Chain A
Amino acid sequence: MKLNFEVDGDEFILAGEASSQVKKILKQLGVSSEIIRRIAIAMYEAEINMVIHANGGKIEVEITPKKVYIVLKDTGPGIPDIDLAMQEGYSTASEEVRELGFGAGMGLPNMKKYSDDLKITSEVGKGTTVEITVYI
């Protein structure tokens, strides 16, 4: 099954609604709690990033009995150096965002840690696409 979400960009205190919704659906599908936890954390981080850096975007979630595949697409500023961004602690988040407890530079490392497969494609000035796969 497929689920689609539009993520609003300017209300990042409300961000995380899509991952919350996905979490609820996965529970109703009977997915094990450990898998749900991994999906929830990876997707939440990606969703938050989308709000903080790219003014929102679109999320598509595909669920089959074998895997959960999440595509997050934005038309934000893009990531100039993905390898650098993958490093723990590296962050380009604004002071305002950090004061709210976000942007600690753990977003991408956490996505990597909790997903089975993580693919990031990005073009500066055009946007970023994050693909997260977790096998069930």
Chain B
Amino acid sequence: MCKHLHSVTLQEDKCRGCTDCIKRCPTEAIRVRNGKAKIINERCIDCGMCIKVCKNHAKKAVTDTLDSLSEYKYKVAMPAPTLYAQFKNILDVNVILTGLKKLGFDEIFEVARGAEIVTEASKKMIKNSSLKKPIISSVCPVIVRLIQIRFPELIDNILPIMSPMEVAARIVKTNLINKGFKKEDIGIFFISPCAAKATNAKNPIGFEKSFVDKVISIRDVYMKLIPIIKKIDKVQEIRQSTRKGIGWAMSGGEGEVLGIDNYIAVDGIENVNRILEQVENGKLEDVEFIEGLACDGGCLGGPLTVENSFVAKNHLKKVLNYSMNQAKNIEEENFNIEGNLTWNKEVMYKPVMTLDEDMEKAIKKMEELERIYEKLPHIDCGSCGTPNCRALAEDIVRNNANIEDCIFMLRQKVRKMAEDMVCLSQKLPPAIGREKM
């Protein structure tokens, strides 16, 4: 499998080469070159910030289409609870789930159910583990990838447990295989609020292979569901999830159900970054658990959603208050899950920010970087196609840019040349007309 597989990509024809995305990327993974944004693959953590800020809609997440349903005989839809918050006039989750069935799915298994199972497993794991405090939630793949790149010393703080999506997929697939279905006939479709989860289905962290077969964006499903839902005559009783699991879509949802009072729920990647900095400085050792979600408001603010995250939050609360009583209790059921819920593959540090493998050379490059940075204007305008002056200095040291890429430096040089020209123009050789001194 490709080492740096991503779902966030650029549609070149739409990109106008502005600097909106390069300045907001949390890992400085985008440059503008030849008038188009370029993503540096090994730095991208699939947060989707660039998708959200691009006014030309040039960034998109590559997800699977609904056409891929035809590839499987038995199709299972696994909606993320965020889907329930997208339909302003629908309070009954069963309406949405019935709609999914009418869309062509044979079975529905809610990721919120997966979240409920993960909740119970996490409780046990936290109780019995010797994990470093504060324990950091692994539910948002963007945060795990951010830690891999920028906070290597916090890798040991990550709760090494499979995501609700993965657990749900494992339950469904194992059950179906036990019932006699052929593995290749089963298609597990995750309906996703974000690009990062799509990446994780193809290139998981913490274990080898995901049980999710396809990932479809909430946006794509939404467009198809609207006309179908209007025509539903009989709503089926499909929902099994409770508010415990559905709440995971919101910031604080996981922390709350874990039964830990001493937790921090932080959302928005810039805020998470600041909190992780504090953990790194040893300032939050008294906190037990940190739930960090990359998107504003949690998964409700995902880049592949339809509704504004604040409106979605308001609506999800109404959904939660609407008949949530008939669901089964999670402890009463025996789930067949293939394998343990604990990660079995080590999460590695990705030193993509390192200037050179050889430290002596790295120090030389850093000295050069500091010298170049001193010369630059320090206004971080982004016209050079890098997010800030320091990043330009870094790119120059890495031989990926020139100092003349800075328009101020270029202007200075042009001006100097012009002055030299004027100077030279006044110096005529004696043979043409200048009097001999």
A residues engaging B (CB < 8 A)?
1, 3, 16, 19-20, 23, 25, 27-31, 33-34, 36-37, 40-41, 44, 63-65, 110, 136
- Is there a chain A Cβ closer than 8 Å to B422's Cβ? no
Contacts of A65 in B (CB 8 A): 359-360, 363
The answer on a CB contact under 8 Å between B349 and A28 is no
Contacts of A64 in B (CB 8 A): 363
A113 to chain B, nearest CB (A): 10
Interchain CA distance A29-B356 in the complex, whole Å: 7
Q: A1-B370, A33-B152, A36-B153 are in contact. Are A41 and B281 (CB under 8 A)?
A: yes
Contacts of B394 in A (CB 8 A): 28
What 1/0 mask marks residues of chain B from 335 to 368 whose CB sits below 8 Å from any chain A CB? 0000000000000010101111101101100110
B residues engaging A (CB < 8 A)?
150, 152-153, 277, 280-282, 349, 351, 353-357, 359-360, 362-363, 366-367, 370, 394
| Number of CB contacts from chain A to chain B under 8 A | 58
Contacts of B357 in A (CB 8 A): 30
Interchain CA distance A41-B282 in the complex, whole Å: 7
Contacts of B366 in A (CB 8 A): 1, 25, 28-29, 63
Interchain CA distance A36-B394 in the complex, whole Å: 20
Contacts of A1 in B (CB 8 A): 363, 366-367, 370
The answer on a CB contact under 8 Å between A20 and B355 is no
Contact of B370 among A3, A33, A34, A37 (CB under 8 A): A3
B171 to chain A, nearest CB (A): 36
5 tightest Cβ-Cβ pairs between the two chains A and B: A33-B153, A33-B152, A30-B354, A29-B362, A1-B367
B133 to chain A, nearest CB (A): 14
The answer on a CB contact under 8 Å between B362 and A40 is no
Contacts of B359 in A (CB 8 A): 29-31, 65, 136
Contacts of A136 in B (CB 8 A): 359
Interchain CA distance A59-B360 in the complex, whole Å: 23
The interface residues of chain A, by DSSP majority, are classed as helix
Q: A29-B366, A34-B153 are in contact. Are A44 and B354 (CB under 8 A)?
A: no
The answer on a CB contact under 8 Å between B281 and A33 is no
Contacts of B363 in A (CB 8 A): 1, 29, 63-65
The answer on a CB contact under 8 Å between B362 and A30 is yes
Interchain CA distance A25-B397 in the complex, whole Å: 14
Interchain CA distance A1-B363 in the complex, whole Å: 7
Contacts of B362 in A (CB 8 A): 28-30
Interchain CA distance A100-B282 in the complex, whole Å: 16
Contacts of A63 in B (CB 8 A): 363, 366
The answer on a CB contact under 8 Å between A20 and B277 is yes
Contacts of A37 in B (CB 8 A): 153, 280, 282
Q: Which of A34, A65, A110: most chain B CB closer than 10 A?
A: A65
Interchain CA distance A10-B357 in the complex, whole Å: 39
The answer on a CB contact under 8 Å between A30 and B351 is yes
Interchain CA distance A134-B277 in the complex, whole Å: 20
Interchain CA distance A29-B363 in the complex, whole Å: 6
Contacts of A36 in B (CB 8 A): 153
Interchain CA distance A13-B280 in the complex, whole Å: 17
Give 24 CB contacts A-B under 8 Å: A1-B363, A1-B370, A3-B370, A16-B281, A23-B280, A27-B150, A28-B354, A28-B366, A28-B394, A29-B354, A29-B362, A30-B351, A30-B355, A30-B359, A33-B153, A33-B349, A34-B153, A40-B282, A41-B281, A41-B282, A44-B281, A63-B366, A65-B359, A110-B282
In the complex, besides A20-B277, A110-B282, 7 extra interface pairs with C-beta distance below 8 angstroms are A1-B363, A28-B394, A29-B362, A30-B351, A33-B152, A37-B280, A64-B363
